[in-house]
Structure 1
């Protein structure tokens, strides 16, 4: 279905001209094939922006990656053999650019570029293509609505490293680093939630709770001042406002790795305890994810909504789809880019400000660099 939709978008594209505005879609990425999993995990476990192991990361990181590879390969096999995140990101980028060409033609032609952090296409791939295309304006557009130093920050630091020591190209360069409170994002999630609520009986709705699930962070990262938890919470409040706060809800966290303390409560533990409290029905919302990938298709769908739900006796559980190609979501992306281009702010003051307890030397250097090169 994704392949067919993407093919149709490519066929409908009317712009074969040299792109004027390049929009770089930043995300973590995911392996499309099982033989990419090992290298994908290696890059994650050795990225100090993403994970800070207590000792010998150059040794311990590769060892953990190698040890986890067979288990993670099985997970990808369970969801069809690979991640669909690249297909969704390409589709979202194409639809975004088609919308912008209609609504803001003065900056057209637009072209989307994908820059993943841990799997192809990498930052190098995206910027090599951008430079070949000789675009006039480059917009770095984080596809994480809520900013974290471990995710968005890692991608932005990687772009800084790519240009370090090089002559900077002659193009305008700007940053969209976060958009957790965009009203159309909230409306999109609310619409997706309503669709799942329609599948639940009135009787089950009496004991229903909406669980907003987001990828967790180590508490030491939170305590350094990472803004991610507060930004996720802001998105949740806006979505519930769209729903008139009609149901009880809770922000929960998933995807903990390792023995150190992480931000909680964890999604699986919350489901277990809410069942003990008498909750019969759940709607699980992947509030920090904009397209389907391993954390939604396996962790939420298989591990929690299927296996755990059966284990603890959940009567009804529905998992809300990620925004994917929802019209409201595509309109949100377009409105974010339009507003950005119409502003005089090439990079936000928040982005240029380090966390109060930042210890990452990459952040010090990269933020100074962005302050110097960004312009609209």
Structure 2
């Protein structure tokens, strides 16, 4: 069986125009694993309210971060794809869960090259319903409908791989080593608390109090986004030798009025500014590619909040993007699958 690799990231509007942003948001927010409400309620919320109010503001945000080459997330993902392709002996395609670079197109590209055994690699270190799971489900649907002769192998969350932690730590350390900072925030994309409960395969063992995140051997950790974020921070802090009290984990980008994972990034930035922190660094390990949430929400809005509260220096550490060592991590994942005798990291 001929092997192929499909890298999958979130996606982007085709342009920062309100029309294209509205189309993109419609597809994204109508996903039942993103806004997990019954179809009628979800339709009323998204099509009746959000798509009539949010596209213009979101388009303005995209316009602030849009590159001459296009969407930063798309451009950076394409650069990463090229580097992974240089390191492996199998065709590597790139797709987005939302937008015009569809997963169907990515699968078709590989099938056209004769691939019948495809490994999908969601570009998310941590598992979540609204990221990894929606990609896996969409791939299964497309294969069943359009590519019945294709065998799919999924990639589990790679948040605790030693090589990934080494690369993430190195990317952070390269900035911190030359920086005089008082506190570093590890800001992860937020999800509603109910998503954590829905992903709990132990049917209620998750207490949402933060304690079970650190309980060794818990079966739900395989699919617990909160645990995986917390452990990512712990492992990086250990690798870098960060002192207790100089770092913390927060969650950004919430929508609606239901409780989301806490503490919230924006409120933490505000609080620390008020408490007298003058020099802050922030990294976003839930994203491997810089995008709207890192370039605008954190680097622009976050810095504005910090300065308004009296903070002076606000340093945003880039995502892994197209780093050679991160491409090497992904190529190792591929090689371990293609040659099972390869030792797992």
Corresponding residue for residue 30 of structure 2: 46
Contact 1:90 1:112 in 2 (8 A): no
Contact 1:176 1:340 in 2 (8 A): no
Corresponding residue for residue 292 of structure 1: 290
Corresponding residue for residue 87 of structure 2: 99
Contact 2:80 2:323 in 1 (8 A): no
Contact 1:183 1:238 in 2 (8 A): no
Looking at structure 2, the residues matched to 143 and 342 of structure 1 have their Cα atoms a distance apart, in angstroms, of 21
Contact 1:26 1:140 in 2 (8 A): yes
Corresponding residue for residue 74 of structure 1: 60
Looking at structure 2, the residues matched to 220 and 309 of structure 1 have their Cα atoms a distance apart, in angstroms, of 30
Looking at structure 2, the residues matched to 74 and 191 of structure 1 have their Cα atoms a distance apart, in angstroms, of 34
1:166 Cα deviation from its structure 2 partner: 4.8
Contact 2:3 2:115 in 1 (8 A): yes
1:276 Cα deviation from its structure 2 partner: 3.0
2:160 aligned residue (181, 190, 193): 181
Task: Give a deviation string over 1:58-82, Cα, whole Å, max 9, x none.
Answer: 2332231232100100000111365
1:172 Cα deviation from its structure 2 partner: 4.2
Looking at structure 2, the residues matched to 153 and 343 of structure 1 have their Cα atoms a distance apart, in angstroms, of 24
Instruction: Report SS of the residue matched to 1:117.
Output: strand
Task: Give a deviation string over 1:107-163, Cα, whole Å, max 9, x none.
Answer: x3x222122111121112112222222214311111111011111111111112213
Corresponding residue for residue 226 of structure 2: 229
1:328 Cα deviation from its structure 2 partner: 1.9
CA pair 198-245 structure 1, distance change in 2 beyond 3 A: closer
Unpaired runs of 5+ residues, structure 1, are 1-18, 101-107, 345-376
Aligned runs of 1:187-198 on 2, under 5 Å?
187-198=166-177
Corresponding residue for residue 219 of structure 1: 193
1:20 Cα deviation from its structure 2 partner: 4.3
Looking at structure 1, the residues matched to 335 and 16 of structure 2 have their Cα atoms a distance apart, in angstroms, of 38
Corresponding residue for residue 276 of structure 1: 274
Unpaired runs of 5+ residues, structure 2, are 201-222
Looking at structure 2, the residues matched to 76 and 91 of structure 1 have their Cα atoms a distance apart, in angstroms, of 20
TM-score, normalising length: structure 2:
0.84
Corresponding residue for residue 114 of structure 1: 94
Looking at structure 2, the residues matched to 173 and 78 of structure 1 have their Cα atoms a distance apart, in angstroms, of 38
2:328 aligned residue (318, 328, 331): 331
